């Protein structure tokens, strides 16, 4: 039987994903605090959040965390193909968001 990740930890540990999320929040706070904000301040914020997303998804895939889908939890042991396909979709969505973010921020109108 595989070990599953505890979704409700007893204490919060500082990790790379949490650091990226907090760093992204700081960049967005600076971006919105400056009246005439430059667009390049949004780029580190978005990329930090997207990389934090990738870290969390990769960690959950490695730990074989069940995925809730339509009222049923998809477990790796029961349906490995659907499990891999679901995480593949999550990685695709994150990659698409990263590409769209880079296009809109680096090549404005």
Q: Is 88 a member of any domain? A: yes
Q: Is 90 a member of any domain? A: yes
Q: How many domains does the chain have?
A: 1
At residue 9 the predicted structure's pLDDT band, cuts being 50, 70 and 90, is low
Residues 18, 4: Cα–Cα separation, whole Å: 20
Dump strand ranges (E) for the chain.
67-69, 72-74
Do residues 108 and 39 lie in contact, with contact meaning Cβ atoms separated by under 8 Å?
Answer: yes
SS3 content of the chain, % helix, strand, coil (to 5): 65, 5, 30
Q: Which region among 29-33, 39-43, 93-97 has the lowest average model confidence (pLDDT)?
A: 39-43
Residue 52: what pLDDT?
Answer: 93
Give the tens place of pLDDT for each residue, 46-102. Answer: 889 999 999 999 998 888 888 888 888 888 888 889 889 999 999 999 999 889 888
Q: Is 2 a member of any domain? A: no
Domain range spanning residue 66? 24-106
What's the farthest any 2 CA atoms get from each other in the chain? 55
Name the pTM for this structure. Answer: 0.74
Q: Is 10 a member of any domain? A: no
């Amino acid at each position: 039987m595989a070990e599953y990740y505890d979704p409700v930890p007893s204490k919060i540990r500082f990790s790379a994903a949490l650091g990226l999320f907090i760093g992204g929040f700081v960049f967005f706070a600076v971006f919105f605090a400056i009246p005439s904000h430059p667009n390049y301040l949004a780029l580190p914020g978005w990329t930090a959040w997207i990389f934090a997303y990738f870290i969390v998804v990769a960690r959950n895939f490695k730990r074989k965390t069940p995925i809730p889908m339509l009222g049923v939890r998809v477990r790796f042991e029961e349906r490995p193909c659907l499990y891999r396909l679901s995480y593949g979709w999550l990685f695709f969505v994150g990659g698409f968001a990263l590409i769209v973010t880079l296009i809109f921020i680096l090549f404005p109108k």
